[in-house]
Amino acid sequence: MAHERVALVTGASSGIGKATAELLARSGYRVFGTSRAAKPDAAITFALIPLDVRSDASAAAAVDAVIRQAGRIDLLVNNAGYSQAGAIEENSITDARDQLETNVLGAMRMVQAALPHMRRQRSGRIISVSSVLGHVAPPCVGLYAMSKFALEGLCEALRYEVKQFNVQVSLIEPAFVKSNIGVTPPTHPLPDYADLRELASRFTANGVRQGMAASLVARAVLHAATAAHPRLRYRVGRRAHLLITLKRLLPERLFERVRQRVFAAGSRAGASAPVEVSP
């Protein structure tokens, strides 16, 4: 008799994480979503447990809670994260550490907590939500792009390390998504970067306003979770496909022109929408 499939989705209180947890629940998974401040909510269709991915103890406790309640873990979806804004010179080393601590080391903590159970089962899937910015880095989101570039490398190596245990690893690479991802301003804003930072803010705001629904990313996660032979990378959205493909095929100088045009057009497209800023 087939066992009940059990999924753990980080950052599931809203946006991509919530859409993914809900879709997995509708597709037959027993789903545990996580949030830093998990509160009972009768409207959600999955269990919500507390997790701070910046804490080793919290990551271990979240996985232990799943194992205690469900006896196994078949799917880990690393989705928790935020975006650090500002030019590289405007951000502190602490800002960079915090960005990596959540977006990269947070995923690594969850992997290290879940993998022993998957190895014992000799089965499992690990899916991490990356971004087109894991391949192409616009100005004034360099730290966020750095974290996604690093996540790409981490998962690429992990895929080959754990394949021997019948554990599959995939990355989901969307372009802009309509979501409320937190954007943290730079610690030391400098007047010399003010105009470029404003353009970048408009580029991001317009991209989010015109972005794809989180449900489309959730569908890509489900596909990677259920495919007989899952790929390493799943690109979601026309812009993600186009930019990543052009970067691979075009000479560097020509691609730089394309990237500048995309950034300029995106920063002018329509009225800017507010971007949620976390304290």
Q: Break the chain down into helix, strand, coil percent, rounded to 5.
A: 50, 15, 30
Distance CA 121, CA 197 (A): 48
User: Any catalytic annotation for residue 144?
Assistant: yes
User: To which H or E segment does residue 26 belong?
Assistant: helix 15-26
Sign of CA dihedral 156, 159, 162, 163: negative
Per annotation, catalytic residue among 29, 82, 144, 160:
144
Backbone dihedral region of 140: left (phi > 0), alpha (psi from -120 to 50 degrees) or beta?
left
Sequence-distant (≥ 6) Cβ neighbours of residue 153 within 8 angstroms:
none
CA distances from 179 to 74, 156, 236 (A): 27, 26, 15
Burial class (CB in 10 A: 0-12, 13-18, 19+), 57: exposed
Q: Do residues 200 and 267 touch, judged by C-beta distance below 8 A? A: yes
Residues that are catalytic: 144
